[in-house]
C-alpha cells in the first residue's frame, strides 16, 4: 500500500509522474512541487541540499517505499552523497540512467546537454558521459517559461537559439534534456535543431530503472486496489496550491482534485 514519492521544484517532475503511471498504473504516488523555491537553477549548492533534505524528510514521514528525484538539480547535487552513504529507502534520479543509455545501447558519440546553471556547474553529466564528447549548456531562462505554461513563441525561440548554438557547433548526434521542465519544450527544440540531432527525455530511462529495481526488490504492488486497478496520486506543494492545481491538470490532461499546501517546506 505504500506510495512512491516523486518531487521537483515545480511542474517539471510531472513528466516523470506521467510516465511512472503509464508504466506502473497500480501504484499509489505522492507528488511534491516546491513552488516556494522554484527555480532551483539559480540557488547555491548548499541551499539546494538544505531544501531537498526537508523534502526527503517529508517523503519519509509519508511512509513512501521509494523516492524519485524527478529533478536533475537534486540528482546532481544531493543523490550521489546519499547513495554513497546508504539511504533507508530506494532512491532514484534523472542522470545516471540516461548517461548509461547514451554510452551503451544508444550509440551516441557527441552529446549536447541542456540543463540549469547549477546542474551544469556540478559537471556531473560530463563526468558520467565520459569518454563521450559532450557540451553542457546552462539555460536559466527556460524554467520560468514552463512554470508559466509558455511552451512556444518568439521569446522561447530566441532563448533556445542561444542555448542550442553550442550544441549545433559540436554537431551533436544526441541532445539530452537535462531538466525535467524541458520536455514541455521538446516540440520547439526538435523543430529548431538542424542536424538531425536525436532529442532524449531522461524520464523514460529513469522509469525503466525504477520499474526493474522495485520488481527485483519485490516492492511492486501486485493486488488490484478496487479502483479499476488504478492507484491514487496525492499532490502537495510548498506554495500556491490553486496555481499548481490548474497547471498540473493541464499537463496531465485530467482533473487534479486536491492539492495540499505544506507551508513548513516554504521557507528554507
Catalytic residues: 71, 179
For 209, the grid coordinates are: 530503472
Are the C-beta atoms of residues 98 and 176 closer than 8 Å to each other?
yes
Q: CB-wise, 72 or 238, nearer to ligand DGL?
A: 72
Q: CB of residue 32 vs ligand DGL: minimum separation in angstroms?
A: 12
- What's the closest the beta carbon of residue 156 comes to ligand DGL, in angstroms? 16
> Which CB, 41 or 241, lies closer to ligand DGL?
41
Secondary structure class of 190 (helix, strand, coil): helix
Minimum CB distance to ligand DGL smaller for 66 or for 146: 146
Q: Which residues have C-beta within 8 Å of that of residue 70, sequence separation ≥ 6? A: 6, 7, 8, 12, 13, 15, 16, 17, 94, 180, 203, 206
Smallest distance from ligand DGL to CB 242, Å: 20
Sequence-ordered list of residues with C-beta below 8 angstroms from that of 201, at least 6 positions apart, any chain:
15, 177, 183, 186
**Minimum CB separation from ligand DGL for residue 87, in Å?**
20
Cβ proximity to ligand DGL, 48 vs 111, nearer residue: 48
Written as one string, the DSSP assignment of 3-45 is: PEEEEESSSTTHHHHHHHHHH-TTS-EEEEE-TTT--GGGS-H
- Count other Cβ atoms within 10 Å, centred on residue 64: 21
Binding residues for ligand DGL (CB under 6 A): 8-9, 12, 38-41, 71-73, 116, 119, 143, 179-181
Amino acid at each position: 500500500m505504500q506510495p512512491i514519492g516523486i518531487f521537483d521544484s515545480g511542474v517539471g517532475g510531472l513528466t516523470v509522474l506521467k510516465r511512472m503511471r503509464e508504466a506502473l498504473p497500480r501504484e499509489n504516488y505522492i507528488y511534491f512541487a516546491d513552488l516556494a523555491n522554484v527555480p532551483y537553477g539559480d540557488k547555491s549548492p548548499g541551499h539546494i541540499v538544505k531544501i531537498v533534505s526537508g523534502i526527503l524528510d517529508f517523503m519519509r514521514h509519508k511512509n513512501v517505499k521509494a523516492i524519485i528525484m524527478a529533478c536533475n538539480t537534486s540528482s546532481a547535487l544531493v543523490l550521489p552523497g546519499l547513495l554513497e552513504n546508504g539511504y533507508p529507502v530506494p532512491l532514484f534520479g534523472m542522470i545516471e540512467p540516461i548517461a548509461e543509455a547514451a554510452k551503451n545501447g544508444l550509440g551516441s558519440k557527441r552529446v549536447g546537454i541542456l540543463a540549469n546553471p547549477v546542474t551544469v556547474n556540478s559537471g556531473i553529466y560530463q563526468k558520467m558521459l565520459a569518454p563521450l564528447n559532450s557540451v553542457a549548456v546552462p539555460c536559466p531562462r527556460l524554467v520560468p517559461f514552463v512554470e508559466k505554461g509558455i511552451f512556444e513563441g518568439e521569446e522561447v525561440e530566441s532563448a533556445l537559439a542561444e542555448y542550442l548554438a553550442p550544441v549545433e557547433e559540436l554537431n551533436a548526434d544526441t541532445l539530452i534534456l537535462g531538466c525535467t521542465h524541458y520536455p514541455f519544450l521538446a516540440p520547439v527544440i526538435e523543430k529548431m535543431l538542424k542536424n538531425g540531432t536525436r532529442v532524449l527525455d531522461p524520464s523514460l530511462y529513469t522509469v525503466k530503472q525504477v520499474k526493474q529495481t522495485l520488481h527485483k526488490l519485490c516492492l511492486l504492488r501486485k493486488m488490484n486496489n478496487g479502483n479499476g486497478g488504478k492507484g491514487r496520486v496525492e499532490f502537495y506543494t510548498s506554495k500556491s496550491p490553486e496555481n499548481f492545481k490548474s497547471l498540473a491538470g493541464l499537463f496531465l490532461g485530467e482533473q487534479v482534485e486536491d492539492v495540499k499546501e505544506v507551508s513548513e517546506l516554504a521557507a528554507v
